[in-house]
Amino acid sequence: MLPLGNDDTFLLSRGRKDLEMDWIKSHWKAVGVSVLVFVLGAAIGTSGSSSKSSTTTIMRDHTVTVSGAAPIASTVIETQTVTHAVKVKPKPKPTAKKISFSGNGGETLPVFVVGHDSTLRWTNDGAIFQIFDMNPNDFGGIEVNSQAHSGSTAVSAGRYSKIEVNAIGNWTITIS
């Protein structure tokens, strides 16, 4: 064992709390910056931005040993903010323009968006004209069952998919 010098004797005569306070006094800037980074990371993680972010806190224990003194355990806190870019599929934009379809016989219409509550007008040169909304999630649905050669019905604003037309003959649909 090495002989104790004046500095070592001084360290041994001091208590554990004094050594901890000395460590805090000498590292207060690092502790303050760590706390600041942690708070900023938490604030960024909870902000309402369009990208996703998360804050990961890593805690590491280590022990400081001074020759001849009791070991001092301390915890070092490191904060790391990770930001993940999220690709968002654009929603179909509602449109205020006229939407038109035409065909002959049965057909499934492509997905379309009605920008505001509108009127669907239809014509048919055959004996029957039917429209069925096969998607239960569509707004309000569209249903027509007629033997007339023309008619109209209300259509709520929203996105429509799986609209089936069943008709005998040529038909047209206009939504405006």
Lookup: tokens for 151: 């008619």
Single pTM value for the model: 0.46
User: Quick one: pLDDT at residue 33?
Assistant: 73
Q: Are 171 and 124 in contact (CB under 8 A)?
A: yes
Higher pLDDT, 58 or 22: 22
Residue-wise pLDDT tens digits, 42-52: 666 555 444 45
Name the nearest CA neighbour of 118 among 136, 83, 94.
Answer: 94
**Residue spans per domain, the chain:** 6-84, 99-175
Name the nearest CA neighbour of 109 among 34, 68, 161, 41.
Answer: 161
Task: Give the distance, in angstroms, between the CA of residue 80 and the centroid of all CA atoms in the same chain.
Answer: 21
Give the CA dihedral 67, 72, 75, 76, nearest 10 degrees: -30
Share of the chain above pLDDT 90, in %: 31
Query: Which parts of the chain fold into alpha helices (H)?
Result: 6-13, 16-26, 28-46
pLDDT above 60: residue 34:
yes
Q: Are 122 and 131 in contact (CB under 8 A)?
A: yes
Residue-wise pLDDT tens digits, 115-167: 889 999 999 999 999 999 888 776 667 899 999 999 999 998 888 888 999 99
User: Quick one: pLDDT at residue 89?
Assistant: 64
Sign of CA dihedral 147, 152, 107, 145: negative
Q: How far apart are CA 65 and CA 12, in angstroms?
A: 12
Higher pLDDT, 161 or 67: 161
Fold for the domain defined by 99-175: Jelly Rolls (2.60.120)
